[in-house]
């Protein structure tokens, strides 16, 4: 039997009706298969929040001003954000990455300085970043994950912060899924109807300006944020390191989409933690043919979906390792 068949056999002969733990059984099978063991473990769980600013934010696509990016990073470092609260609650390490925030941060043990530049260019009328900057993003993402992996981590969650990044993610999704802007765009930080119409008009204008783009990395270069590009590179490295990859909401899922286009096998290691309330997320998960663990009407980002879903992943590993089998418990199976 393959390791996957052995794990499935172990799951099926626990003291329960066949398949009765539903999604937890699928998670247990996935995690055991990734780790190539009948007794998987979750070691040094870590969530990484990549932060950067976006040139497109200057075009009026967000309800919040651009300086909120650096202010929220400061909040992360001081422990006051939702992701801090949920990570602490569930025993998850939290690391913040400055991928390109318009601010100079003091050195901090929980902050990776991976700044590419002080924000991207506005993709309304030019490429968001240069080809060299894109490669630097992949290199930095690789460095971040390898340093966490070397610390014994085998399960890593991805979150983000960056005013304007739902616009960036919308463009990535539209191009890479071949869907119109209207099926990808959402309210982001809470736009009203008029603001949303303006956002859609700006994104369509950008699409008209740039025209057709086929190459995956070109799409990322033209429309991505530094935090999205670094997250994409980081996810690919996490897959190479055989780590379990926890994907947060709309932005993180679009970073994953780019990684998936580069290496489709990465889907085997991914857990999609929740269905975001951001409109395009449902269409994106449908495109990827994946089911989210939770639907809590969240749309905060920061990796909060990963942190909130983590106890379910612990439960999947726990039942696989600790629940009795029919044989060990002396319970008669239905057969």
Catalytic residues: 302
C-alpha of 13 from chain center: 34
Using the structure block, give the residue that is written with the tokens 């994104």: 203
| 145-178: b (≥16 Cβ within 10 Å) or e | beebbeeebbbbbbbbbbbbbbbbbbbbbbbbbe
Q: Cα 11–256–159 angle (5° rounding)? A: 90
The helix (run of H) or strand (run of E) holding residue 48 is: strand 46-52
CA atoms 230, 281, 121, 264: torsion sign? positive
Question: DSSP per residue over 93-104, as a string?
Answer: EEEEEEEE-SS-
DSSP one-letter string for 211-225: -----HHHHHHHH--
Residues present in the chain in total: 335
Residue 250 to residue 287: CA distance in whole angstroms:
13
């Amino acid at each position: 039997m393959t390791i996957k068949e052995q794990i499935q056999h172990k799951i099926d002969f626990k003291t329960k009706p066949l398949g009765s733990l539903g999604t937890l059984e699928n998670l247990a099978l996935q995690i055991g298969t990734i780790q190539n063991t009948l007794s998987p473990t979750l070691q040094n769980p870590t969530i990484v929040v990549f932060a950067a600013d976006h040139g497109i934010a200057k075009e009026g696509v967000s309800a919040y001003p651009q300086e909120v990016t650096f202010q929220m990073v400061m909040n992360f470092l001081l422990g006051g954000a939702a992701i801090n609260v949920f990570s602490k609650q569930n025993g998850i390490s939290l690391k913040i990455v400055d991928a390109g925030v318009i601010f100079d941060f003091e050195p901090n043990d929980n902050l990776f300085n991976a700044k590419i530049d002080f924000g991207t260019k506005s993709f309304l009328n030019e490429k968001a970043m240069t080809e060299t900057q894109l490669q630097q993003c992949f290199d930095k993402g690789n460095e971040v994950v390898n340093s966490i992996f070397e610390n014994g981590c085998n399960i890593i969650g991805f979150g983000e912060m960056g005013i304007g990044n739902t616009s960036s993610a919308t463009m990535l999704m539209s191009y890479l899924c071949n869907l119109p802007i209207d099926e990808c765009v959402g309210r982001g930080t809470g736009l009203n109807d008029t603001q949303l119409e303006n956002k859609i008009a700006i994104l369509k204008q950008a699409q008209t300006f740039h025209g057709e783009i086929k190459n995956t990395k070109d799409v990322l270069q033209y429309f991505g944020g530094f935090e999205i590009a670094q997250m994409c590179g980081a996810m690919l490295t996490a897959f190479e390191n055989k780590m379990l990859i926890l994907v947060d909401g709309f932005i993180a899922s679009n970073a994953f989409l780019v990684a998936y286009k580069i290496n489709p096998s990465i889907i085997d290691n991914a857990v999609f933690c929740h269905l975001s309330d951001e409109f395009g997320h449902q269409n994106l998960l449908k495109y990827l043919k994946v089911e989210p663990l939770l639907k809590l009407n969240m749309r905060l980002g920061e990796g909060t979906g990963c942190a909130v879903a983590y106890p379910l992943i612990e439960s999947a590993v726990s039942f696989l390792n600790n629940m009795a089998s029919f044989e060990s418990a002396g319970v008669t199976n239905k057969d």
